Every structure is written in C-alpha cells, then in structure tokens.
Amino acid sequence: MNPVPRRVVIVLFEGVDLLDVTGPPEVFALLQRETDDTPGYDVVLAAETLDPITTSAGVRVLPDATFEDTAKHPIDTLLVPGSVEVDDNHRIHALADPDVVSWVKTLADRTRRITSVCVGAHILAAAGLLDGKRATTHWSTAAQLASDHPAVEVDADPIFIRDGNVWTGAGISSCLDLALALVAEDFGEATALRVARQLVMYLKRPSGQSQFSVPLEPVSSTRRMEDLRLYVTQHLDTPLTVTDLAQAAHVSERQITRIFRTELGLTPAAYVESARVERARNLLESTDSPLTAIASACGFGTTDTLIRAFRRKLNTTPTDYRAGFRITP
C-alpha cells in the first residue's frame, strides 16, 4: 500500500495575509521535490464558499473546498493564518471573524495538529483552543492577545511555540520556520535541513528567544561554502579541525581559513563552535538527554567545554537554557 500524503487544510477568509497562506505550501512543495520516496503533504485551501478570496495584498486566491465539505474528512494539520486592520493612529489590531472562529473550532475537532501563523493565534484563542496553553503571535499584537484572552500564556519572543498538539508562530516570515519544524517532526531533521537549504535558510531557526540566537549568518555566496556548512552540520560529533575541513573541501589549510574569513567573516573554529552551540540548543529544547550525551553529540567532548561555550556565546548555562526553553513533548 502506498503511503498517503498528510492532509493540510489552510483556512481562507477575506483580508487574510497572503504570505501566511502561501509560505507554508512552498515549504511543503520543496519537501516533495527533495524527496522522491516521501508521501509529503496534500494542501487544501478551505473557505466558507468557493468564491475567490481577496487577501490583504490584493491578490485573489481560489479555495479548493468549503469549510462544510472539509469538515467531513479527517485533517492531519489545520493551519490558521491571520489578518489585521490599522486605525487612523497606525495602531495594528488583529481580527477574528466570528464565523471563521466557529468553523476553526469545528475543524479542530477533526484535526491531529493545529497551527497558527502570525496573528492567526487570535483566531485560535477566540475558538478556545489556546486556553491554558503557552502561545506566541506577532509582537505588534501580543499585548492585545494577552488582554483579550487572559487564559492564554502569551510569549512574544519565540519564533514558534509548541504546546501539545497546538503550534503557534510569530511574525509573518516565521511561517517558514514553523513549516520547517512541522516537516522535521513528520519526516526528520535531515529532510528538513535539505528543504531549508533550498530556501536559502541554511538551518531552520530553533524556537527559542531571539536574544539567544547564535549567528550562523550571513548566508554564504558560493556553493562551496554552503557545502562546507552542510559538512560541518553533519559531522559535529567529530573533531572538525582545520585539517579536517581542508580535506573535506580539497584545499590547503591556509586556503580553508581564507575561505571562512572571506565568506563568513569567521575563523573555521569560531564557526564550528557556533554550529555546535546551535545543535546543543536544539537538543536542550527538544530532548531530555543528559548534558554529557549532548556534549558528546555536538562535539564538545566534555560538559565543561559545553558550559564554557554557552557562557561565551549566550551568556547563560545549558541547564538554565533548558529550564527556560524546553519544549513540552
């Protein structure tokens, strides 16, 4: 029996933010292009009727199905985008149409996993789907979300938050990060990394706060440098000395140092340490592995080395970082 694609339903309504709607399907389509043997996703755009929907950008989108028909079938992932209005004083206010809220609540009962993009969190909250949960949204409407829905624990800092089977994403472009995280959960980190490279995102950003972000940018301008970065990511549990990197790139040690400085403005050692800290952050957020195992998996060797790297790069300790940002399974 051939594997069945995962059914993703994206909610449409008048004035919806265009990138919220189109961003995740682009990620899902790249998954299909990158993996021939993966069932992938079947994306369905659903609205109250089959009439064209005019997005906030003025671009019209045609729904694939009505909410009523969509509710007749099981849904793997329900994705709820958002919309806003701006008053005369340029203040942004998130919208939650009662009819849309009612349909989202109905569809959620048929859904394995519920997600929102940007201010779509306000619709989930209005449907009661975020009560007692930690959630994020666009920073400009976070105060509104907290005020309108006191039962929701609002945190505007993370790029995305997972609480049980409910995922919420922050700013508009973070819909790509959220979609990559869904791909990683469904098909594995290695597959998500391949998709991220096609998006020129290199690594998917973890869900932790922005002030803890390890600078693995800028994106390099040559394929050789991108291949080196991928090599580093895939061999973090090995020494990764200058000699190792030079051999992987088939250049001299002097040249490999020049390549890193020219392309990234970093020494090879500095870049490798940043990549190791980034991997450690992911493991601290998503697993209960002991620090010794994380230090080994990330190539630090000892927990003392791991702790020193965290203090140097993030001004915190691995233990404190996990206490603040461990994602509940």
C-alpha–C-alpha distance, residues 280 and 299, integer Å: 10
Q: Are 63 and 53 spatial neighbours (Cβ–Cβ below 8 Å)? A: yes
The partner residues of 168 in beta bridges, in order of sequence, read 116, 161
Annotated catalytic residue within 118, 119, 127, 182: 118
Buried b (16+ CB within 10 A) or exposed e, 220-244: beeeebbebbeebbebbeeebebeb
C-alpha 169: how far from chain center: 8
Rg (CA), the chain: 21
Distances (CA, A) of 243 to 237, 266, 277: 16, 16, 21
C-alpha–C-alpha distance, residues 137 and 122, integer Å: 8
- State yes or no: is 175 an active-site residue: no
C-alpha–C-alpha distance, residues 69 and 71, integer Å: 5
Question: Which positions are annotated as active-site residues?
Answer: 118
